[in-house]
Amino acid sequence: MDRIALEIAAMIVENLVEYDLGPGPYWEYSEIPGRHLCCGSYDWEDRRPPWIVLTEDTRPTIFNARLSCQKLYAASTKSFATLLGERVFCFTKAGTDDLRAIGNCPRLTPYITTLTIGRTGLRVPAAEDALQSLLSPLDAPDQDRLKKTYKESVNWQITNLPHVQDRLASLFRAFPNLDGIRITSKWRPYPLVPWLSIQDAKMFHRGYCIWKEDDVLDQYHESCGRDTLVYDIQNHRALSSTAITQALVQAKATMTDLRVFDIHPEYLFTQEMVFANLRTLRITVPVYRTIVGRPTPLQPVEMLAKVIVAATSLQDLALNALLDYVHTAPILTALEDRHTLRCIQFTGRFDFEEDELLEFVAHHSQNLRCLIFEGSSLYGSWPAALRTIGHLTKDRLEFFWAFWVKQWDPELDVDRDFTEAQDFELTDDDLAGFSCPCEVSAHPQDRGY
């Protein structure tokens, strides 16, 4: 192996990087993991991040290759950087120390193009019994030691959060080719990782796996249901999206790829400088929050439209509506001048007027290569709309997917939370206009499930 040219060795290691994608053609457009497509169903509760994830085997495979010989170790720098891009770095002492150590490695920093930042903060004070529950897979001495570590991490957070923007900007500057940021508020399934050292995280993972093998994982997940008493993603103890985007501006980082997996990213929309060079934007859209049984605006969809207008180079847009139905007219209007747009994906409760949707497709028919709807609702007829979309995009669209879609009679004013959508059936003629891979399925309730 040591006789192989370094370039060839690098190609070998790069081929060891595998992404968890569905088995069909063009699944890289939707970035849907294969495990979500089992039995033709989709688990809406198991929300996936808006980015491709690596397979479970990739990490140990790359590590083993790096340890096998000096040539593969030297050739694996780029692949190792890919692994680091998937790791979540929280604004904790452990997270910032690790990120700083990576930034101090000159052989590695040029290959770090993407970072994943966790917004999770430590609750002050944490509920002692909840912390005890999370530590339950460990032996008593380790539990006591990590309780002390948690308290030390809380004190670090209190001291450093007032300076978070400067701290993050300093860390970001260490990576000259950084052009992709992922923001997440998710800390499961390993809820201690945000504040543990690598060694303690490995120990916790081993304890977690033992619980899993002993068939008491449900018991542990029940205890994890109380982890909101230990972590915080909403108040001033959490790392705000504003701080992250302001730090990017301060570090003069040019972002071309921004992914946000967060239930409250509303402040993100105030930093328009971050969006100017974006080619990819994949983000959750929490437009409404229900308070006392009534929908109350949390972040108007018009604010998202402003982001789209600012992103003049946008090519790939994926939006995920987490809560109530979202009317898409402002978004479609904002996209009118985005002639670079190649892929658009709507996931969740997005509403479309049939005429507005068809006008949008017609406007972008020359440049669109991928069009995806998951759980979307149409005021009109999906069969009729599909016939028109197939005709408008023939020989140009590369992938079309409409999964668990619904339709409603535009003449009826109904409460969709308590009224079933209209039944509809598709014929071969409805899809005959598509010259690309095309999959369409109605929501299960529409099929009598």
Answer yes or no: is pLDDT of 368 > 60.
yes
For 34-77, how does the pLDDT look when each residue is reduced to its tens digit (9 = 90+)? 554 433 333 434 466 788 888 889 989 999 999 998 888 989 99
Please give the structure tokens belonging to residue 375. 């759980």
Answer yes or no: is pLDDT of 218 > 70.
no
For 245-264, how does the pLDDT look when each residue is reduced to its tens digit (9 = 90+)? 889 989 999 999 999 887 65
How many residues are present in the chain?
A: 449
C-alpha to C-alpha distance for 350 and 416, rounded to whole angstroms: 12
C-alpha to C-alpha distance for 20 and 372, rounded to whole angstroms: 19
C-alpha to C-alpha distance for 339 and 345, rounded to whole angstroms: 16
The count of other CB atoms within 10 Å of the CB of residue 72 is 23
The contacts found for 301-305 with CB under 8 angstroms, 24 or more apart, are 301/326, 301/327, 301/328, 301/330, 301/331, 302/330, 303/266, 303/269, 304/269, 304/330, 304/331, 304/334, 305/330, 305/331, 305/333, 305/334
Please give the structure tokens belonging to residue 373. 């709807």
Domain boundaries, the chain: 118-176+183-254+263-274
For 376-432, how does the pLDDT look when each residue is reduced to its tens digit (9 = 90+)? 989 999 999 999 999 999 999 999 999 889 898 877 765 555 456 778 888 899 999
Burial class (CB in 10 A: 0-12, 13-18, 19+), 428: exposed
**What is the reported pLDDT for 265?**
57
**Of residues 234 and 101, which shows the higher confidence score?**
101
Q: Residue range 341-348: average pLDDT?
A: 92
Please give the structure tokens belonging to residue 227. 């982890």
Query: Within a 13 Å sphere around the CA of 162, how many CA atoms are in the beta-carbon half?
Result: 3
pLDDT-derived band at 284 (thresholds 50, 70, 90) equals: confident
Beta bridge partners of 288: 297
pLDDT-derived band at 197 (thresholds 50, 70, 90) equals: confident
Of 44-58, 83-97, 207-221, 263-277, highest mean pLDDT: 83-97
